């Protein structure tokens, strides 16, 4: 059982920067914290390459443990205002699209307080029917239900009202027309003892509740979409409800309108705007999805920016999480003399151990090496707290092995409040679009499986063993600074899997290569998906997998445009910038049971490639060994394709073979169903090791395989994969420019 976890408030730090660490314990009364430099995180006992160098730090020592709960689930908050105090007769309404109506009580719009019981709450009741609750401030609570469960994933116009003259509460639900479903309108009324407005804030998609430590949190989360919520004085009839809920200016439709929130405004931020007379603006919590189709989406426009009036919905989930909100246990100011590298705070409580990883770049405006290791933080975020294997019925077939649970996996299943990866689906079946680093991330640490972060430490360990000096920079830095981050470096080295790239990241890398930059791409499945980051949500990543590629989940049709930037999401290949046009190769196949090996080609004996194979001799076979599938070409592999932009002068110096029948062509390579898609039958299933020069005197070397890095430590780092990699880095660090052929 996990007994301790934590996270940092920042990932990329320079000397002089301050970072806070937030820790929670689970049953342990005390814990110890130490600083380690992560050289290699592979803790397999037979490999004997784990290296975590302990570093003196002022925070090192013991601390009292404490539980820090998480307020998971998205909602929106409007601060208390005097406009609420004057409520007597009122009507509250919205367009509602429930996605789990059978999941028990879920709040829609509530200005409710338990002690004393005051205010109102429009909600779905335990049976999934529309209900309105009111309190009179004297301990009396009245509630009325429509008695008719709302259908899943269908739009309804719902309303609840209180009539002060008759002390009656009423609800009505009208299914949107045009559906072939046998959906019925429903309404109901009941007596109430009275109504007193609550002296508290108004919430959308949740009710207020205290967390385990007494801090305010939320409960009764709504799964689904809300569009055009309104609050009006007086009891509205059906005609007025329809008029106020229409896309046109609601204030012109009914003079007694108190608030008319427009969720189509401020997309990409946490702001919600009220277009009514009282300006009851608010904010969202935990990143509900915006840029979502509203009740009136016609399908004529796919981009929310072009038709904001049809994208007025916000999609809430009970398992959304942006910021865990933990208090800081201790801080660390990065010393001026701390070398650039990958670091982690090691946390120990009883018999458990966890790591909080962060990255130290050189001092601002300086470099300490000619080589930069470009850390794939966007990819780490995309996979953060990955749980897809444990929920998809075809996972074992896809992965070609029995699903095994580690301690961290069990913990995440027991604690859904820690949030999901962009490979997972929400509890309501919709795809996860956002991932955040402001929470514990259990799989971005040493001693975890060889995927993403920990697989990259095979390359870090190799750099240390080879005595190659390097700085660490992150692709989040690249997103902010562009090519200026990379230009001071003679060469840049990737990790094993730089899959996710924002537009500024890719532009920065391409600008670097357009100059004299040299790039060694020692991985596979890189530069594949467009993602987005935003200053409005520091530390968050957005991903919408449009139409094609290995998607793991379908994206909602009509919602392919990213909320953070308004850009079309999906494969860079479909956006006109295939990875072949950047690094010469792009993903062609995936297989996780066995890895293949490379065989040298005639191009490998070209004088332009002579430096790559220095000391290799006439060996034809490269990398028939390794810790990931027993070979250097595997997991996810890339090949050249002139049609997709592989430079005409690129040399394919080796190609892989020996792939299994479980290594299959990726969907974006298949126009229709093929019988021969696997690595045994299809010659396209291969990784191409490529090299080409760039006009500015730079060059690009690509291996096109995630498994390459796991072959570097074989035989004490004395092998031909290690030698080729060292040859490339050595030449890339030389001052002499490369000549275009």
What 8-state DSSP symbol labels residue 234? S
Mean of pLDDT values over 84-105: 96
Q: How far apart are CA 420 and CA 423, in angstroms?
A: 8
Residue 5 has pLDDT above 80, yes or no: yes
**pLDDT higher at 396 or 601:** 601
- What are the tens digits of pLDDT across the range 528-554? 999 999 999 999 999 999 887 777 778
The size of the chain, in residues, is 741
β pairing state of 518-521 and 699-702:
parallel
Q: What is the layout of strands, in order, in the sheet containing 570-571?
A: 500-501, 529-530, 570-571
Give pLDDT, residue 246.
Answer: 87
Q: Sign (positive/negative) of CA torsion 561, 563, 565, 570?
A: negative
The predicted structure's pLDDT at residue 398: 66
What pLDDT is recorded for position 201? Answer: 97
Higher pLDDT, 400 or 587: 587
Q: Which residue ranges form the domains of the chain, and what is each CATH number?
A: 4-70+335-360 (2.60.40), 75-316 (2.60.120.200), 371-732 (3.40.50.880)
Mean model confidence pLDDT for the chain: 94
Share of the chain above pLDDT 70, in %: 97
pLDDT above 60 (res 675): no
Residue-level pLDDT at 676: 59
What distance in Å separates the CA atoms of residue 646 and residue 587, rounded to the nearest whole number?
Answer: 13
Across the range 91-102, mean pLDDT stands at 98
Supply the pTM of this predicted model: 0.95
Q: What is the mean pLDDT of residues 705-721?
A: 98
What pLDDT is recorded for position 253? 82
Average pLDDT rounded to a whole number, residues 318-334: 98
Beta carbons of 417 and 440 less than 8 angstroms apart = no
The residue that leads in pLDDT, 296 or 249, is 296
Inter-CA distances, 402 with 352, 425, 474, 559, 732, Å: 25, 21, 34, 35, 42
pLDDT of residue 260: 96
Alpha-carbon distance of 705 to 628, in angstroms, equals: 11
Average pLDDT over residues 583-611: 95
Residue 263 reports pLDDT greater than 70: yes
What digits encode the pLDDT tens for the residues 267-320? Answer: 999 999 999 999 999 999 999 999 999 999 999 999 999 999 999 999 999 999
Q: What is the pLDDT of residues 465-486, one digit of tens each?
A: 999 999 999 999 999 999 999 9
Question: Is-contact 131 143, C-beta < 8 A?
Answer: yes
Which pLDDT belongs to residue 674? 62
**Residue 691: pLDDT over 90:** yes
Q: At what angle do helices 453-466 and 720-732 cross, to 10 degrees?
A: 70
| Phi (first) and psi of residue 546, to 5 degrees | -80, 125
What pLDDT score does 399 carry?
64
More confident residue, 339 or 364: 339
User: If 0-12 CB within 10 Å is exposed, 13-18 middle and 19+ buried, where does residue 190 land?
Assistant: middle
């Amino acid at each position: 059982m996990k007994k301790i976890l934590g996270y940092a408030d920042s990932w990329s730090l320079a000397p002089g920067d301050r970072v806070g660490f937030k820790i929670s314990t689970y049953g342990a009364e005390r814990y110890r914290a130490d600083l380690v430099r992560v050289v290699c995180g592979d803790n397999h006992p037979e490999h004997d390459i784990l290296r975590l160098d302990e570093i003196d730090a002022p925070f090192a020592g013991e601390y009292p443990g404490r539980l820090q709960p998480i307020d998971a689930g998205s909602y929106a908050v409007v601060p208390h205002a005097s406009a609420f105090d004057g409520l007597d007769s009122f009507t509250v309404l919205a367009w509602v699209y429930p996605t789990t109506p059978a999941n028990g009580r879920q709040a829609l719009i509530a200005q409710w307080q338990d002690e004393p019981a005051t205010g109102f709450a429009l909600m779905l009741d335990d049976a999934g029917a529309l209900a309105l609750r009111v309190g009179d401030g004297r301990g009396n609570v009245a509630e009325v239900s429509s008695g008719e469960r709302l259908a899943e994933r269908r739009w309804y116009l719902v309303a609840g009202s209180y009539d002060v003259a008759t002390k009656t509460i009423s609800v009505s639900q009208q299914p949107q027309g045009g559906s072939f479903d046998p959906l019925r309108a429903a309404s109901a009324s009941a007596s109430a003892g009275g109504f007193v407005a609550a002296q508290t804030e108004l919430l959308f998609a949740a009710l207020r509740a205290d967390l385990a430590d007494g801090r305010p949190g939320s409960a009764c989360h709504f799964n689904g979409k809300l569009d055009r919520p309104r609050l009006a004085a007086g009891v509205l009839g059906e005609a007025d409800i329809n008029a106020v809920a229409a896309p046109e200016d609601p204030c012109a439709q009914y003079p007694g309108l108190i608030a008319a929130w427009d969720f189509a405004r401020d997309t990409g931020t946490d702001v919600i705007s009220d277009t009514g007379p009282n300006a009851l603006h608010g904010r969202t919590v935990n990143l509900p999805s915006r840029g979502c189709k509203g009740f009136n989406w016609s399908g004529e426009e796919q981009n929310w920016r072009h038709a904001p009036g049809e994208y007025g919905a916000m999609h809430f989930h009970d398992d959304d999480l942006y910021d865990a909100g933990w208090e800081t246990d201790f801080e660390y100011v990065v010393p001026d003399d701390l070398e650039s590298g990958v670091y982690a705070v090691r946390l120990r409580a009883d018999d458990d151990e966890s790591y909080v990883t962060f990255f130290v770049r050189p001092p601002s405006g300086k470099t300490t090496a000619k080589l930069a290791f470009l850390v794939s933080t966007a990819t780490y975020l995309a996979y953060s707290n990955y749980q897809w294997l444990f929920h998809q019925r075809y996972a074992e077939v896809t992965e070609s092995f029995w699903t095994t649970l580690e301690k961290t996996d069990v913990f995440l299943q027991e604690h859904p409040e820690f949030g999901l990866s962009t490979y997972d689906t929400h509890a309501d079946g919709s795809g996860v679009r956002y991932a955040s680093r402001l929470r514990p991330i259990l799989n971005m640490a040493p001693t975890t499986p060889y995927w993403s972060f920990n697989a990259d430490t095979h390359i870090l360990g190799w750099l240390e063993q080879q005595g190659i000096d390097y700085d660490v920079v992150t692709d989040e830095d690249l997103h902010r600074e562009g090519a200026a981050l990379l230009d001071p470096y003679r060469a840049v080295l990737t990790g094993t899997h730089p899959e996710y790239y924002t537009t500024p990241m890719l532009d920065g890398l391409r600008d670097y290569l357009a100059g004299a930059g040299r790039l060694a791409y020692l991985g596979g499945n890189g530069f594949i998906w467009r993602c987005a980051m935003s200053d409005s949500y520091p530390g968050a990543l957005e991903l919408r997998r449009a139409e094609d590629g290995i998607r793991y989940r379908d994206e909602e049709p009509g919602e392919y445009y990213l909320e953070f930037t308004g850009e079309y999401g999906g494969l860079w290949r479909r956006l006109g910038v295939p990875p072949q046009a950047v690094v010469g190769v792009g993903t062609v196949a995936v297989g996780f049971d066995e890895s293949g090996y490379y065989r040298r080609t005639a191009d490998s004996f070209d004088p332009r490639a002579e430096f790559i194979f220095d000391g290799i001799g006439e060996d034809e076979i490269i990398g028939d060994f390794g810790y990931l599938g027993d070979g250097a070409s595997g997991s996810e592999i890339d090949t050249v394709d002139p049609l997709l932009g592989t430079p005409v002068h690129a040399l394919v110096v080796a190609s892989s073979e020996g792939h299994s029948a479980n290594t299959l062509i990726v969907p974006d390579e298949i126009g229709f169903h093929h019988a021969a898609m696997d690595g045994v039958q299809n010659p396209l299933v291969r990784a191409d090791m490529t090299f080409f020069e760039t006009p500015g005197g730079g060059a690009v070397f690509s291996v096109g395989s995630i498994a390459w890095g796991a072959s570097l430590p074989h035989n004490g780092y004395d092998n031909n994969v290690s030698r080729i990699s060292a040859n490339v880095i050595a030449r890339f660090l030389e001052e002499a420019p490369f000549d275009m052929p």
